[in-house]
Amino acid sequence: MIYEGSPLYYIYDMIDKKMIVEALETIEERLRTDPTSPDLFNLRGMCYYELGRHKEALDSFASSLQLYDRDFYPHEMTGKCHFYLEDYIESIDSFDAASQRVSNPNKKVDLLLSAGFAALIANDVRASQYFPKAIELNSRLTIDAIQQIFEKLFLDPLMGLTTEEKIRFQEMINELRDDIGKAKEKIAKWGVVNSASAQPPATPPR
């Protein structure tokens, strides 16, 4: 991760301000003199990700991980790229790896949920593992985050969910919120139910 005060933070600031082309030019110039900086490869991956060039972003994050694989960030971004490329199994594995490398419990919840939703879309039974783990860390935060992810991701028209499927997911979330004491028990069944019955939605949002 690039934090404020880092020598490379000015490049991150350029990306944040959507100066992507300028940032890429700066990164390539820096890489010519410092080709072993994982942070530079992460920044380049961020640029490609912002441009929707997910395969090129994956290559950059892979280069970063070859140099240093203990940072959660390139694992997380690898998971996001795989998700948008519809490589859901690889996405799950990357989010899982990221969750094992982060100490902040709120961020860990976010990563576990990302893995869980990728598993739901892939009809992978591991969804029944990730959601309960998040509940154990922070039940209220987990349910709120599930609602946010549902609204941001599953309601997107590009996901191809039917009205009935959208209603079903919202009802599942409402059940968790209404009886938070039994949230872990209920949410543990999600992956089992969906892997047995649902088909993957068409395409993730781009």
**Quick check: 34 and 67 in contact, CB under 8 A?**
no
Q: Tell me the HSE value of 181 on the side-chain side, using a 13 A CA sphere.
A: 0
CATH fit for domain 1-69, picks 2.40.37.10, 1.25.40.10, 3.65.10.10, 1.10.3720.10? 1.25.40.10
CATH number of 75-206: 1.25.40
Contacts 24+ apart (CB under 8 A), 90-96: 91/115, 91/118, 92/118, 92/119, 92/122, 92/124, 92/126, 96/130
pLDDT tens column, 111-138:
999 999 899 888 888 888 898 899 889 8
Residue 170 confidence (pLDDT): 84
Q: Where are the domains of the chain?
A: 1-69, 75-206
Residue 102 confidence (pLDDT): 96
What are the CA-CA distances from residue 16 to residues 28, 37, 47, 74, 157 (Å)? Answer: 18, 20, 10, 17, 27
Three-class DSSP category at 144: helix
Selection from 147, 136, 131, 135 nearest residue 191 by Cα: 131
pLDDT at residue 87 greater than cutoff 50 = yes
What is the rounded CA–CA span in Å between residue 191 and residue 96?
A: 16
1-69 and 75-206 share one CATH topology?
yes
Residue 159 confidence (pLDDT): 61
CB atoms within 10 A of CB 92: 25
What is the rounded CA–CA span in Å between residue 203 and residue 206?
A: 9
What is the rounded CA–CA span in Å between residue 89 and residue 80?
A: 12
pLDDT tens column, 45-66:
999 999 999 999 999 999 999 9
pLDDT tens column, 156-201:
665 666 788 778 778 878 877 777 666 667 666 665 444 434 444 4
